Structure 1
Amino acid sequence: MKKIAFLLLLLVSFASIQAQVMNPAKWQTKIEKKSDTEFIITWDGIVEDDWHMYSQYTAEGGPLPTEFVYNNIDGNYELIGDAKESETKTVYNDIFEVDETYFVGPVKLVQEIKLINPDTPNIQVEMEYQVCKDVCISQSNLFVYDLKTLVSKEVKNFEEASIDQAETKDVVKSEKLADENIKIAPKTEDRSVWGIFIWSFLGGFAALLTPCVFPMIPMTVSFFTKQSKTKAKGIRNAITYGLSIIVIYVVLGLIVTKIFGADALNALSTNVWFNVIFFGILIVFAASFLGAFEIMLPNSWANKVDRQADRGGLIGIFFMALALAIVSFSCTGPIVGTLLVEAAAKGGTAPLIGMLGFSLALALPFMLFAMFPGWLNSMPRSGGWMNTVKVSLGFLELALAFKFLSNADLVLQKHWLEREVFLAIWIAVFGAWAIYLFGKIQLPHDSKIERISVGRLFMALLVSTFTIYMIPGLWGAPLKLISGFPPPMTYSESPYGVGGKGGNGSTADFSSLPEGAKLGAHDLIAFTDYQQGLEYAKSVNKPILLDFTGFACVNCRKMEDYVWSDPSILTMLKNDVVLISLYVDDKKELPENEQYISETTGKKIKTIGNKWSDFQIEKYHANAQPYYVILDAEENRLAEPIGYTPDAEEYKMWLESGLKK
């Protein structure tokens, strides 16, 4: 009985250990013959709920894209285009400051292949991908397709496939993503549909306060209330007028989406030339708002629409709304153009949603003042303040323009607009805006002011504060308030990141680092080789914090940014442990004599990342990152390993419990 109990306990323990080796994506694959020389390979994957598997076309600098590696060293076949994908979704990742694209629902990938050598016996392809939830898992699956029998199988052991991966030099990758397809998008508070709507609504409100639109409110409302025989009819006409404004701008968003296509807009926004062209357009918009010239539609358009507005009735009211859109174009055009560009970065129906938000803000005052005409008496009078609003929008357009130029530079990696230069430009722009609001600069359409209002003073102080806030960013301050707008801290003039040799604002000296160590997050000394770190820990008689991480691991970065930054935790990491960070997605190839077949998984271990991933599975029966282990210098565990732990207090308690032992 004791033996049976012992066996049951052993089985339960083994099952609990193996459960840590996660495999959230399950695959079925097949090969079909299209013609004598053409074949179609299909992969159907089911990804568990709440896990994300990333597209072939997700942005560089973020999570790892799905990738196919073909063992085609003899050139026996060629790929026909890229692998086609099922539905994907693109959202902004504020940790990596890029857009990430992942699959929605079941994953389907289809690749067409054309034979060059008709005697080719089989096709062997390795699929590499990453899936993430609270942790990230990098996977590699090997598939073999028999071209004679059309039998396909997923090979669990690399030796069974008779593939010498170390000799595969002429690798054909299905991912042929050009540099211009790198998705680096300007950040908003929320890249969701609601985020686009809210920002567009605020843009419509800003347009409402410009000299082209604001004076039209009392004139238009008075027209409806005086011309209508009853108050109810006047309200009805004003509501029709407001709804017509909404229809006009929503139709504009619909046209933009229809012409370019929902997906094309997103792809367009990642293009170098797109960003350069819109940099130029926004500079023109900014110059117009600052008073250099007026951007106007042809007068003949306004005259024709005015004649139609005289017809009366619902059609006449609609043409009155169209006349407002045309006449006010010099003020609303730059805002609408900017919003459409921003919406293009989101893709999908974002231009439609953006125009709904913009037009709603523009239309509501006309409807509300018609319902409550007494409110007109409380409206501020038209005056020079409206030009101040317009000029302020010009400064904002000017600042935003350089974000698009920065996007293009990041894609090309030319280092023309590095972080320090970008911040210097923004400091100059917002500084000039503050000086303007204080009344020290006058622009062409400004009226002379003898004193500034309290509202303008408060705005000047706010812009001045923001300008001063950005200045420390020149020396490495993270500037979290504008995270995503400037280039990342690693894209700077300093060879090791902003702030000097250590990066991240540090001036640490690399010459004092132990052999094999480097400065990581928060200038922590970290070893990236287990043996080197272990030997150093023995020499200094300190315990080890083993950090299984990844360059493309989102939650690894969150842990570093929001948990390791806690002063009490950071002190322990700097003084009480030897940090060994093992990157499981490091693509650098191992020397050929160090490559091997894993005894645990049967897979070919050919890169540094493969080595540390296999080490994690073999030693700790886990394959997810982040994953933390506390060891003494003799490699004994001092606490149970943990994964993603966003609660800093909980992580601190875990760290302290290990160190006490």
Structure 2
Amino acid sequence: MKKRQFLTLIFSLLVSIVAMGQQNPVHVSVQQKRVSPTEVDIIFAAKIASGWHVYSTGLPAGGPNSTVLRLDNAEGVSPVGKLTAHGKELNVFDKAFDMKLRYFENSVSFVQRYKITAKTYSIKGYLEYSTCNEEMCMPPMQVEFNFKGNGPASAPAAAPSDVEKKTTDAAVATPTEAEGTAALSAMTADTTKNVTASTADSAASVAPAATSGTNDSDLWQPVIKELKAFNTAQNTDNASLWYIFFMGIVGGLVALLTPCVWPIIPMTVSFFLKRAKDDRKKGIRDAVTYGLSIIVIYMGLATIVTAAFGPQKLNELATNAPFNIFFFLLLAVFAFSFFGWFELRLPSSWGNAVDNKAAATTGLFSIFLMAFTLSLVSFSCTAPVVGLLLVQAATSGDWVAPAVGMFGFALALALPFTLFALFPSWLKQAPKSGSWMNMVKVVLGFVELAFSLKFLSVADLAYGWHILDRETFLSIWIALFALLGLYLIGKLKFPHDDPDQKAMPVPAIMLGLCSLAFSVYMLPGLWGAPCKAVSAFAPPINTQDFNLAPQTVHAQYTDYEEGMRAAAAAGKPVLVDFTGFGCVNCRKMEAAVWTDSRVAEKLMKDYVLISLYVDDKTPLKQPVEVKRPDGTMRTLRTVGDKWSYLEETKFGYLAQPFYVPLDNQGKPLNGSFSYKEDIPGYLDFLNKGLENYQAKR
């Protein structure tokens, strides 16, 4: 138990480190560089964390925010051209926005050149950029600068230029139609004095004064500790690990029933019993050692996988497109091998060498080598099961998941050797080898092929290929499980099946009917039915071409204080949705999760939904200088700045989408929820918030 608590503590620390890294995924340095006596460049050099990207300049309207340079003051200079980007620009079609988007990964430099027109000059402003990864987006970030210098002695005195208080990027100087439509008239009632004493005082300066019985400034008080306590209490990582462990047990039991493993059990146990027929305790000890050796071998494999990728890389695998393509191909190869099209084999010399070494060695080491021989000999049957399990564990994002999964697999695989050694009479009752083991392989082949499509879907969504939209995915699954059903009831045969078998076993027929029924269940999904049982595997509903019953959810309020006052008057809890007009994954959550009828009903009837757009460009009445939690200063210029500051100071987070249920005093009712297209999980998240709200009343 203590060991488990230690592992959980270490895992929590790693998650905290990753979360802190997400606060600043892009580091930008700014400098001015004199390129001639009359010209100067303002250079913004950005280093981008792995997995994140920064959007380019001049993107079309209706998409994410472009990178722009905005000036508060410019004297004695005039811009030469527009803001230009230097780096490897990627041009990728994004289905969520239905357009091609340009962005940079790893690094990029943005440069604006100015012509010096006076004896002295000064330039003050900020670069604004947007950054996202495959799971979340940050609010528009700002990098401020204030440069001064001397121009040619023959130049006239400095005077404000025509670009003062305007952006140098003419393509985005005027608010776009999307920004204009998004302007929220109820926002930014007023902002007060500049405050730098503390984060709490800064938050109070941004919050409007109370206009009713509700003290609005209290609604801005930080709740970071309370939110962390809820998130820790949820133990979602424990649930995930138990699921991985259970899947490992199932995988081990399936591997036992394959032709490569099952026939070896009686031979191995008989060998141990004969080897120590005068000392039965020694035979039992050898069998137990054999089982433990199997566990050690497969746990060692999991350790190698974790060491090869590292904890941080395992967190990235779930949404990394190249890795998902690799996983798809790997599982497809494993599936075809189970179908009998070819056989995966290790060089026979490996097994022979280990077997000879085991025969020449005595003691416990010889038993370990025998277990290693089993792993090599059974490779063609166990490798697909182990591969599927490791892929699932690795993409779970938990660095201990591969070890937990392999422990479950090895435990199930090793248990029969020990049990049959303890109770030899059970061997006589065990089923004999036969054609049923080939049936197990074929069934597992269908399952692996179906699961492989999940990983191809991730890559398809990332690159916008549109080869595996939701109806295409469901069509393939319907065909696969229908074929599996026909195979189990005996209407479909594979080359290596027993040709003399005329009647299928009753359990196989019952499973076949279940598989056929599952295919029928998925059919309405081709026309937009939610198909909850496969929602965690299928692409999001927004990729569906045929959707006869679309359902949308709209926030009742887009102002934090106004929505909180309305919720208090109605006696309802609040769900705060930190989102953005340019947030791809916010749209995915709204299309894939909020369209579920059960989720939509709770959001519209049981909660007061407040959506706060962190990239809203509606200007505040006047800029407000505030202190961030890390002690640095920040100037809030827009409504979006105000909401991103609220998210950072009150909740300790700075990415979207981000959902938090609150009571009428602004205290969290449950842990937070971010990007995860998991309808059952989101429903549990909402229900827990409602339960805690009712308990407080």
TM-score range, shorter chain: 0.5 to 0.7
**SS of residue matched to 1:604:** strand
| 1:423-438 correspondence runs (5 A) | 423-438=474-489
For the Cα contact (< 8 Å) 2:123–2:147, is it kept in 1? yes
Aligned to 1:493: 545
Inter-CA distance 379–545: structure 2 relative to 1 (3 Å threshold): closer
**SS of residue matched to 1:294:** coil
| 1:76-225 correspondence runs (5 A) | 76=42, 78-79=44-45, 81-82=47-48, 167=167, 192-225=240-273
**SS of residue matched to 1:490:** helix
Taking the aligned partners of 1:342 and 1:194, their CA distance within structure 2 comes to: 13
| 1:223-622 correspondence runs (5 A) | 223-228=271-276, 229-268=278-317, 270-311=319-360, 312-347=362-397, 348-447=399-498, 448-494=500-546, 499-500=547-548, 505-506=549-550, 520-521=552-553, 549-551=577-579, 565-566=600-601, 583-585=611-613, 587=615, 589-590=617-618, 596-597=621-622, 604-606=636-638, 609-610=640-641
Taking the aligned partners of 1:308 and 1:128, their CA distance within structure 2 comes to: 61
C-alpha displacement at 1:116, in angstroms?
A: 13
C-alpha displacement at 1:520, in angstroms?
A: 2.1
Taking the aligned partners of 2:523 and 2:479, their CA distance within structure 1 comes to: 10
For the Cα contact (< 8 Å) 2:334–2:445, is it kept in 1? yes
C-alpha displacement at 1:455, in angstroms?
A: 1.4
C-alpha displacement at 1:265, in angstroms?
A: 3.6
Inter-CA distance 332–225: structure 2 relative to 1 (3 Å threshold): same
Larger mean CA deviation between 253-262 and 372-381 belongs to: 253-262
Larger mean CA deviation between 361-370 and 335-344 belongs to: 335-344
**SS of residue matched to 2:451:** helix
Q: Deviations over 1:602-651 (max 9, x none)?
A: 953436x45778999xxxxxx9966799xxxxxxxxx9999869459969
Inter-CA distance 363–492: structure 2 relative to 1 (3 Å threshold): same
Matched residue type, 1:350: A
Q: Deviations over 1:285-337 (max 9, x none)?
A: 11110111111111111111121121242222112111111111110011112
Taking the aligned partners of 2:282 and 2:646, their CA distance within structure 1 comes to: 77
For the Cα contact (< 8 Å) 1:210–1:390, is it kept in 2? yes
Taking the aligned partners of 1:410 and 1:241, their CA distance within structure 2 comes to: 45
Output the TM-score relative to the length of structure 2: 0.57
**SS of residue matched to 1:443:** coil
| Structure 2: stretches of 5+ with no match in the other structure | 1-12, 33-39, 52-106, 114-120, 149-163, 171-235, 564-571, 580-584, 627-633, 648-653, 671-685
Inter-CA distance 588–121: structure 2 relative to 1 (3 Å threshold): closer
Taking the aligned partners of 1:166 and 1:200, their CA distance within structure 2 comes to: 60
Aligned to 1:16: none
C-alpha displacement at 1:383, in angstroms?
A: 1.2
Matched residue type, 1:203: G
Q: Deviations over 1:70-118 (max 9, x none)?
A: 7879864554734799xxxxxxxxxxxxxxxxxxxxxxxxx9x99999x
| 1:52-71 correspondence runs (5 A) | 55=19
Inter-CA distance 75–468: structure 2 relative to 1 (3 Å threshold): farther
C-alpha displacement at 1:446, in angstroms?
A: 0.8
C-alpha displacement at 1:359, in angstroms?
A: 1.2
Inter-CA distance 71–520: structure 2 relative to 1 (3 Å threshold): farther
Output the TM-score relative to the length of structure 1: 0.60
Taking the aligned partners of 1:563 and 1:648, their CA distance within structure 2 comes to: 15
Taking the aligned partners of 1:241 and 1:194, their CA distance within structure 2 comes to: 26
**SS of residue matched to 1:287:** helix
Matched residue type, 2:636: K
Taking the aligned partners of 1:394 and 1:137, their CA distance within structure 2 comes to: 38
Q: Deviations over 1:465-488 (max 9, x none)?
A: 222222221122222222221111
Inter-CA distance 586–368: structure 2 relative to 1 (3 Å threshold): same
Aligned to 2:174: none
Taking the aligned partners of 2:345 and 2:257, their CA distance within structure 1 comes to: 18
Q: Deviations over 1:236-278 (max 9, x none)?
A: 0101111111121112222222233332344355332222222
C-alpha displacement at 1:351, in angstroms?
A: 2.5
Taking the aligned partners of 1:555 and 1:423, their CA distance within structure 2 comes to: 20
Inter-CA distance 559–339: structure 2 relative to 1 (3 Å threshold): closer
Q: Deviations over 1:122-170 (max 9, x none)?
A: 997999999xxxxx9998998989999xxxxxxxxxxxxxxx9973869
C-alpha displacement at 1:417, in angstroms?
A: 0.8
Between the aligned residues of both structures, percent identity stands at 38
Taking the aligned partners of 1:227 and 1:546, their CA distance within structure 2 comes to: 70
Inter-CA distance 470–560: structure 2 relative to 1 (3 Å threshold): closer
Inter-CA distance 57–288: structure 2 relative to 1 (3 Å threshold): farther
Taking the aligned partners of 1:194 and 1:649, their CA distance within structure 2 comes to: 24
| 1:630-641 correspondence runs (5 A) | none
**SS of residue matched to 2:395:** helix
Inter-CA distance 295–582: structure 2 relative to 1 (3 Å threshold): same
**SS of residue matched to 1:346:** coil
Alignment RMSD (CA, Å): 5.3
Inter-CA distance 644–261: structure 2 relative to 1 (3 Å threshold): closer
Matched residue type, 1:520: T
Inter-CA distance 380–165: structure 2 relative to 1 (3 Å threshold): farther
| Structure 1: stretches of 5+ with no match in the other structure | 1-48, 59-63, 86-110, 131-135, 149-163, 171-187, 507-518, 535-543, 574-578, 617-622, 630-638
C-alpha displacement at 1:598, in angstroms?
A: 6.1
C-alpha displacement at 1:225, in angstroms?
A: 1.0
Taking the aligned partners of 2:436 and 2:524, their CA distance within structure 1 comes to: 32
Which protein, 1 or 2, shows the higher relative CO under an 8 Å CA cutoff with sep ≥ 6? 2
**SS of residue matched to 2:47:** strand
Inter-CA distance 249–627: structure 2 relative to 1 (3 Å threshold): closer
For the Cα contact (< 8 Å) 2:577–2:659, is it kept in 1? yes
Taking the aligned partners of 2:254 and 2:327, their CA distance within structure 1 comes to: 21
User: How many matched pairs?
Assistant: 484
Taking the aligned partners of 2:492 and 2:404, their CA distance within structure 1 comes to: 37
**SS of residue matched to 1:431:** helix
Matched residue type, 2:470: R
**SS of residue matched to 2:541:** coil
Matched residue type, 2:249: F
